[in-house]
Amino acid sequence: MNSKKVNWLFLTIILVHIGVVLGINLYSYFVTPLYLSIVPNLLLSQAMVFVPAFLFALFSKEKLNTVYGFHKIKISSVFMIILFTFLMTPMTAVINAISMLFVDNTVASMSSYIMEMPMIVMVLAMGVIGPISEEMVFRGVVFNGYKRSGNTVCAILFSALLFGLMHMNFNQAAYAIFLGIVMAVVVEATGSLWGSAIFHMTVNIQSIVVMYMSDAIYSDDVMQEAEVMTNETEYMLAVIGVYAVVAMITTAIAVCVLAWVAKNEKRDMHLRQIWAERKEKRGTMATIPLIIGIVLSVAYMILDVILL
């Protein structure tokens, strides 16, 4: 895989997503309403991304273990990656809160549907299956493909951008781009896709557990009041201010933790080399299919906001 094929893959994923959504809506309008519960909906969303990427990787005539790179990492690194994930949570929350000044929180709007299912089911669907499949696509096929056509820093940024746009809504795209950058760096720090997969699973499982715990602890009135307050700009700005201070501290500690992981995996010199080579130009990553894919995804998100 190279950048040109990766760009065609992204365009394919966007077209598949739009086609499936349009097909479901047309079928529901002209034939009979088609309702998918949260788990089939999530699995369908994952399939729309994973299947095209897997087929592209399969027909690239490369060994799949080379494309995906699930190499072993030390158990001590696993625990430190989990710690690193928690330390990065405040910064993710800040970015999410900033996006909520302009658009709704997508995951929060799905909470009522999520709560209909047992927590273990959602942990498997959103906390295990989703992260692993997305890492195989975006830190496996996409990131590795971009690395072959340009410098690693550009590959990190481009793969993160595509990861964010793949969510097809502005709220998730905002913090997904940030997390995409972080997870690509984790891959380079560990030399394995397991690094980003562990990070991604920890992020999602943490969100699910907090959601279920909040539902169990707080009454419906308290939850409704909190939802109303998140729609107030002054309140959100105050929250962002507090979280920003905390985020700067925890992110600084997180950088030290990731540096320890890289040294533990004997990849610290590799990270320094990536930064040193950031200005080198080795090829053009942006092609017409990529531009079309970006325009279509952004147009879809704008239309989604207008319709809502």
Q: What sign results for the dihedral spanned by CA atoms 38, 39, 44, 47?
A: positive
pLDDT at 18: 95
| Amino acid 59: pLDDT | 85
pLDDT, position 191: 94
- What is the residue range of 191's domain? 3-307
Prediction pTM value: 0.93
Nearest to 181 by CA among 201, 156, 144, 211: 156
Angstrom CA distances, 251 to 225, 230, 261, stand at 30, 24, 15
Given a contact cutoff of 8 angstroms between Cβ atoms, the answer to whether 164 and 78 are in contact is no
pLDDT at 266: 95
Helices (DSSP H) in the chain: which residue ranges? Answer: 3-30, 38-58, 64-68, 75-99, 106-109, 111-114, 119-124, 130-135, 143-147, 152-165, 170-190, 193-217, 220-229, 233-264, 268-276, 288-307
- Give CA–CA dist 191/186, Å, rounded: 8
Give pLDDT tens digits along the chain (308 positions). Answer: 788 999 999 999 999 999 999 999 898 888 888 888 899 999 999 999 999 999 998 888 777 777 788 899 999 999 999 999 999 999 999 999 999 988 888 888 888 888 889 999 999 999 999 999 999 999 999 999 998 877 899 999 999 999 999 999 999 999 999 999 999 999 999 999 999 999 999 999 999 999 999 888 876 776 677 676 777 788 888 889 999 999 999 999 999 999 999 999 999 999 999 888 877 766 678 899 999 999 999 999 999 888 87
Give the per-residue pLDDT at 228: 67
Q: If you search the block for the tokens 């479901």, which residue do you land on?
A: 24
Interval 254-265: pLDDT, tens: 999 999 999 999
User: Number of structural domains, the chain?
Assistant: 1
Two tokens, residue 223:
């939850």
